[in-house]
Amino acid sequence: MKNTVLLFCFKNLNIMQSFIFSILIVIPFLTFTQSGSYYGNPSDASELCGIRVQASNSFSSNQEAQKALDKIIAVTGISKRFALYQCSGINNCEAITFRGIRYIFYDQNFMKSITTVAGSWTNLSILAHEVGHHVNAHSLDWLALASGEIQGITLEQKRQQEIEADEFSGFVLAKLGATLIQSQAAVKLASDDGDDSYSTHPSRSKRLSAIERGYNQAKGITTKPYSTVSLTEEDYFYLAYNSDKNEVKISNYTKCIQLESGSVSAYLNRGYVFKDEKRFTEALSDFDKVIELAKNSKSQSFKNCLDDGYLGKGWCYRQMIYSNENDADYYHQKAITEFTNAVNTDPNAINYLARADIYSERLYKTEENSYERSSMANKALNDYNSAARLDPNDPDIFSRRAFLYNHYLKDKNAALSDYKKACELKPNDLFSFVFMGRINYDLNNFESAIQNYSKAISIYPDGMSYYERAKSYIELEKYKEAITDFTKAISISKDTTNETWAVVDYNIIDIYWGRAYCFEKLNNYSSAISDYSKIIEITKDDPGSGTYKKRAKNYVKLKRNDLAVLDYNKAILIDPTNPDSYHARGYFYQFTLKKNDKALEDYNKAISIDSDYLPSYYNRGLIFGASGNPEKAISDFTKYIENSDEQDADVYYVRGLAYNDLENYATAIEDFNKSIELNPNYGLAYSRRGSAKFNLNNKTGACADWNKAVELGYDKAQSLIDENCQ
């Protein structure tokens, strides 16, 4: 742009650091935005605010600030060729140029006093003074100065600039109706009349005279000396930049480009607006233009914009992946190519992070345990490592690398380490605390998981964090604490105004299920029934049979068998092809109502639906054994034993009983042996084995087993000892 401070695309942090120390401002490293964005974006502003107050702040122009600025613009007729941002901690306001963009930073309380507090002329004069620096093109670009692209000014020149800004301030306050004394009040407070030869600011008397000249000028003329006759390319640039409407941005960036075809910043910013609007062809064209201008420019400032063009193209292709799923692999590769160009042009943390992210994002599309996934994951890891090395103070780098470690490299300990680092750098990083909680839960570190979720809740009391913490309490059998958290999660989920990113990670039914489980563990069956009833109410359009079965079991605990059988019937009605439902009702008939005939019907039905449904074979075998059908019992128990993934001491024991009934004592002893092998403390099995041995005339072995049974607590074996072992 003509007649403006030179735009400078700067990414050399070492030069920047040296420059900042040279002007005696102690600051941390700048943390640049990872995503690539407009020149003069809020991230740039945030970095600059961090420089001024040694802290990161959120930025937002508020109504008071706009009102104050509008007052100045209204009486001068100037164009708004600067950006306005809140920067808490600077106490008043300040004019700075950074990456070619003019900023006025303001403290919110300071700005509010201008528009709402009586006697605020002092603060308004300070704001007008800072605007005057921009109007008179005083503020030199910090980064351009750092690179040597432009030269700094002498103290004498600096003092002259302050005089010009004071004249502008006097002019503005006169137009706004202040008295001369009111217009000069701020300078009287902030200056003295000592020797100014080695100062950046003139003496008090010189500054007061400058304000008076500006004041008198405003009182003596009718035209506005600062008015803009016609809009320049710079005016259009700031009209675009300061707008929050994309169509206005595009229109004004286009007008800027029409007046200045070499405006790299306008092409770059318009390209990002096109990208946001998903007008990718136009966006790519603008980024190509940035690359062309940067390559052909003799100015190092513009050459430093080259990787910004590649980065913009990479972000376009990255977004196109999700708009063109059929060609996703093609656009993924195109994005990698452009991000690689950016890395090769300028190997900084931003560019490495962009490429790492594009590698990482497509991993879910690769086959697990494949060479492709392994290769891509390692490429992502290498880039995250490079980004972390170049910018070790960016928490996002560590949290993203942690995600890669956890989900794709299956290194949960490395993931935990990175999440911890992210939280050290960003103490209120909600996501990192939540993910640490999940990893610790997976690692059975439940106490640590609870601590992580507690911290997340202190940052933002989201229902998901309460839900996850409740799950950890359950693992520690702290059911009361879990119920408290489930209840809190329910109250948050009921509040439809509290919609957050986390709603996709759980739903209200999961919470009620969890709380009902805890109520059952505490024998609070009525409350459990209430929660299952709530689930049934919520899912009335598509209820699941499982909820009815769970509620039925709790009715049984309360001896409400009439309601229990209704729920079991409902479960079967909902899902008549589910063997679980028939088995559940059969179990209820067998063990609660003692109706083996009805239980047998249900077990037969379950087995007819699924010939390998083992629980029904086991329970049916028990009925056969109790009803004098040992052969059928043995058949069912054998089916269970031969097809079960786990060996169960009980099933060998009951099959041994059936063999015993057939007087097949040797085989019965084999099953009792196996039962005792699986459960060495099975006193009843020792007693039954002793009886089988006695029937085979092995009195010594029988007595030994009966004595062992008594030793293990089966007192009924004592009568056998008394009768047969004396």
According to the model, what pLDDT value does residue 233 have?
86
Are 472 and 437 a contacting pair, CB within 8 Å? yes
CA angle 312, 316, 319 (to 5 degrees): 135
Helix (H) or strand (E) holding 98: strand 93-98
Average pLDDT estimate for 373-381: 96
Average pLDDT estimate for 200-204: 83
Kindly report, residue by residue over 84-94, the tens digit of the pLDDT. Answer: 767 766 666 67
Instruction: Give φ, ψ of 11 to 5 degrees.
Output: -140, 5
Instruction: Give φ, ψ of 96 to 5 degrees.
Output: -140, 145
According to the model, what pLDDT value does residue 148 have?
55
B/e letters for 386-398, b = 16+ CB within 10 Å, e = fewer, are bbbebbeebbbbb
Cβ neighbours of 161 (radius 10 Å): 20
Kindly report, residue by residue over 208-231, the tens digit of the pLDDT. Answer: 998 989 888 887 765 455 554 567
Which two tokens mark 237? 């640039």
Q: Is the dihedral of CA 658, 662, 663, 667 positive or negative?
A: negative
Q: Which region among 99-108, 191-200, 261-270, 685-694 has the lowest average model confidence (pLDDT)? A: 99-108
The helix/strand/coil state of 718 is helix
Please give the DSSP secondary-structure letter assigned to residue 591. I
Q: CATH 1.25.40.10 occupies which residues in the chain?
A: 577-646, 666-724
Nearest CA among 121, 139, 112 for reference residue 211 = 121
According to the model, what pLDDT value does residue 77 have?
67
According to the model, what pLDDT value does residue 6 have?
29
Count of residues making up the chain: 726
Cβ neighbours of 647 (radius 10 Å): 12
Residue 140 confidence class, pLDDT cut points 50, 70, 90: low
pLDDT higher than 50, residue 59 = no
Query: What is the rounded CA–CA span in Å between residue 527 and residue 597?
Result: 33
Q: pTM, whole model, 2 decimals?
A: 0.70
According to the model, what pLDDT value does residue 389 have?
97
According to the model, what pLDDT value does residue 22 have?
31
CA angle 8, 10, 12 (to 5 degrees): 150
Tell me the one-letter amino acid at 461: P
Q: Is the dihedral of CA 59, 64, 66, 68 positive or negative?
A: negative
Are 693 and 702 a contacting pair, CB within 8 Å? yes
Q: What residue ranges in 498-569 does DSSP mark as E strands?
A: none
The helix/strand/coil state of 106 is strand
Residue 193 confidence class, pLDDT cut points 50, 70, 90: confident
597 or 64: which carries more pLDDT confidence? 597
According to the model, what pLDDT value does residue 58 have?
28
The helix/strand/coil state of 117 is coil
Please give the DSSP secondary-structure letter assigned to residue 590. I
Which two tokens mark 661? 């009934």
Residue with tokens 């002259």: 160
Which strands, in side-by-side order, build the sheet including 93-98? 83-86, 101-106, 93-98
Query: What is the rounded CA–CA span in Å between residue 211 and residue 218?
Result: 11
Residue 723 confidence class, pLDDT cut points 50, 70, 90: very high
Residue 120 confidence class, pLDDT cut points 50, 70, 90: confident
Structural class in CATH, domain 666-724: mainly alpha
According to the model, what pLDDT value does residue 341 have?
97
Q: Is the dihedral of CA 584, 590, 591, 593 positive or negative?
A: positive
Q: Is the dihedral of CA 357, 359, 365, 369 positive or negative?
A: negative
Average pLDDT estimate for 293-311: 84
Q: Which region among 49-58, 509-518, 653-662 has the lowest average model confidence (pLDDT)? A: 49-58
Average pLDDT estimate for 263-283: 94
Which two tokens mark 599? 């239980």
For residue 308, list its beta bridge partners: none
Cβ neighbours of 262 (radius 10 Å): 15
For residue 59, list its beta bridge partners: none
Cβ neighbours of 537 (radius 10 Å): 10
Cβ neighbours of 558 (radius 10 Å): 13
According to the model, what pLDDT value does residue 134 have?
73
Q: Which region among 62-76, 429-443, 504-518 has the lowest average model confidence (pLDDT)? A: 62-76
Average pLDDT estimate for 111-120: 52
Which two tokens mark 144? 């351009």
Query: What is the rounded CA–CA span in Å between residue 401 and residue 353?
Result: 10
241 or 444: which carries more pLDDT confidence? 444
Annotation: CATH topology of 577-646: 1.25.40
For residue 85, list its beta bridge partners: 105
Kindly report, residue by residue over 660-698, the tens digit of the pLDDT. Answer: 999 999 999 999 999 999 999 999 999 999 999 999 999
pLDDT higher than 90, residue 350 = yes
Please give the DSSP secondary-structure letter assigned to residue 348. -
- C-alpha gyration radius of the chain: 39
Pairing of strands 101-106, 93-98: antiparallel
The helix/strand/coil state of 105 is strand
Query: What is the rounded CA–CA span in Å between residue 550 and residue 532?
Result: 7
According to the model, what pLDDT value does residue 301 have?
67
Which two tokens mark 124? 């308004």
- Cα–Cα distances in Å, from 559 out to 384, 516, 518, 550, 593? 61, 18, 20, 14, 11
- Cα–Cα distances in Å, from 176 out to 85, 125, 128, 215, 443? 23, 10, 11, 11, 67
Are 633 and 654 a contacting pair, CB within 8 Å? yes
Query: What is the rounded CA–CA span in Å between residue 556 and residue 529?
Result: 11
